[in-house]
Homo-oligomer: A and B are copies of this chain.
Amino acid sequence: MYTVYIPSMKVQFFETGSSHMSTRGLKTAAGQIQRPVPLREAAYEAILDLITTRTLSPGLHLVETELAEQLGVSRQPVREAIQRLSNEGWVELRPGYGAFVHTPTETEADQLLAVRSLLETESARLAAENATPEQIDHLRELIDSGRSETTSGNTEAVVRVNSEFHRSITVASGNKVLTELAAQVDRRVRWYYTPVARIRGSASWDEHEQLLDAVEARDPGRAGTLMSEHTERTRLTYNEHAQEEG
């Protein structure tokens, strides 16, 4: 009944990060063997990518056999991927009828932004109490990197670094539950946000730096306030753009 679990094996398995990193398998010092990623994982990443890039537009009916054929697998892994997407709010599952790409609404976007603001503000507060020197160094590097990518106009990289900065703050909070929830909310916010957002210029990195200074100075109150203002500004930017669109 109880099965012994060997820790060394799990290493590369739960790499939930970017799907198109070439370093799929870990081949570090000990010559670890690359294990095949379960098809359900691959299918999940693939479909989510199709959704976030708008290739599969909101409201679309996801037909299992079509996706299966397109991905070159059977329906089974596709179903499991869709289940997970449903749990995370990316698709809606109508029993007997099928899966449909979730259609974002204005109010929902606003509510997500509000929750994100809440989670990240608390993260910043806790990070000011718990961040390790290494984590602070890492954050400092991200700001530098973000600045240089901004000046060189590499939009995609800026978005990625920005996202990584926020994630690292939540990690530095030391609260894993918080990290997980924030990551999930953040990803969905980004989905809603992307089509209307332009990058909030380099001012954003100044704000990040102030925040990091507060964290380094172990000033939770100030860190929280700064993050709160920062996310609130993002929210306003979004609402402005949303209003322009209609």
Contacts and interface: CB of A to CB of B under 8 A. Distances in A.
Interface of A: 1-3, 5, 10, 13, 35, 38, 40-41, 59-61, 79-80, 83-84, 87-88, 94-98, 100, 108, 111-112, 114-115, 118-119, 122, 175-178, 181, 185
Given A80-B83, A83-B83, A94-B13, A61 B177 contact: no
Contact of A108 (B84, B95, B177, B181): B177
A32 to B, nearest CB: 15
Contacts of A175: 111, 114-115
Nearest to A66: B1
B185 A108 contact: no
B10 A94 contact: yes
How many copies of this chain sit in the oligomeric assembly? 2
A3 B87 contact: no
A77 to B, nearest CB: 11
B88 A178 contact: no
A127 to B, nearest CB: 14
A118 B123 CA distance: 11
B118 A122 contact: yes
Contact of A60 (B1, B5, B13, B40): B1
B118 A3 contact: no
A98 B9 CA distance: 13
Nearest to A61: B3
Contacts of A79: 80
B2 A60 contact: yes
Nearest to A109: B177
15 contacts: A1-B60, A1-B61, A2-B61, A3-B98, A3-B100, A5-B94, A5-B97, A41-B95, A79-B80, A80-B80, A80-B83, A83-B84, A111-B176, A111-B178, A114-B177
A224 to B, nearest CB: 11
B97 A3 contact: yes
A188 to B, nearest CB: 9
B80 A177 contact: no
